[in-house]
Chain A
């Protein structure tokens, strides 16, 4: 049972570089989410998707982009990395908003 898989697990970027955080789920969930978690804090929603081809902004979308071309995949892209984007990024999925969310193990990103 793979569940939600995130890659890479760790990454160090230089300011101004770009990268894509990958997220895939094998549970046929329509709803997928990207969160960031700063030290000692709760999670903040970056973007979410309710199905293939549909994405919407969360609480902290600036500096990020997403796409949802398939049900399984929901990549998160950072175009111009900034130190403020140093964080742990979590991807999650669920059947619906009244169902529990399933989380990946996270990507730890440092921008120097």
Chain B
């Protein structure tokens, strides 16, 4: 059974810092890995999807990497802004099913 872990559970940083969120998974037999953002009281918004054959994906200030052999993915946020404050979740995809980590709650202080 796939288990997905996200560390840290919470993170508080001053505006402008570059930061890294970590995601680890136990079963490397995945189709892809997805990163989501969740704002309080809202659903999830897809940020980046990395196919199993890819090593990384970039969108604006976000860069996600995938190392299947070590069971790790990282989400790098450059020049963080207060508007980046949210919970970030990663999920592995195998077959038709997503397995989610518990999320990292990020607070970016002005």
Contacts and interface: CB of A to CB of B under 8 A. Distances in A.
Interface of A: 4, 31, 33, 35, 40-45, 48, 50, 56, 58-59, 90, 92, 97-106
Interface of B: 4, 6, 9, 31-32, 34, 41-46, 49, 51, 89, 91, 93, 95-103
Contact of A98 (B4, B32, B44, B89): B32
Given A48-B97, A97-B31, A101-B34, A42 B44 contact: no
The 5 A-B pairs with the shortest beta carbon distances in the complex, nearest first, are A42-B100, A103-B43, A100-B46, A103-B44, A43-B100
A97 B51 CA distance: 11
A101 B45 CA distance: 8
A42 B36 CA distance: 11
Contacts of B6: 42
Given A92-B44, A106-B43, 14 more contacts: A4-B43, A40-B9, A42-B4, A42-B89, A44-B100, A45-B97, A45-B99, A50-B96, A56-B96, A58-B97, A98-B31, A100-B46, A101-B44, A101-B98
B84 to A, nearest CB: 19
Nearest to A3: B43
B96 A97 contact: yes
Chain B at the A interface: SS class: strand
Nearest to B2: A59
B43 to A, nearest CB: 4
Contacts of A48: 96-97
28 contacts: A4-B43, A31-B96, A40-B102, A41-B102, A42-B4, A42-B89, A42-B91, A42-B103, A43-B44, A43-B91, A45-B98, A48-B97, A50-B96, A56-B96, A58-B97, A59-B97, A90-B44, A97-B31, A97-B93, A98-B32, A100-B46, A102-B46, A103-B44, A103-B45, A104-B43, A105-B42, A106-B41, A106-B42
Contacts of B49: 98-100
A42 B25 CA distance: 14
A43 B96 contact: no
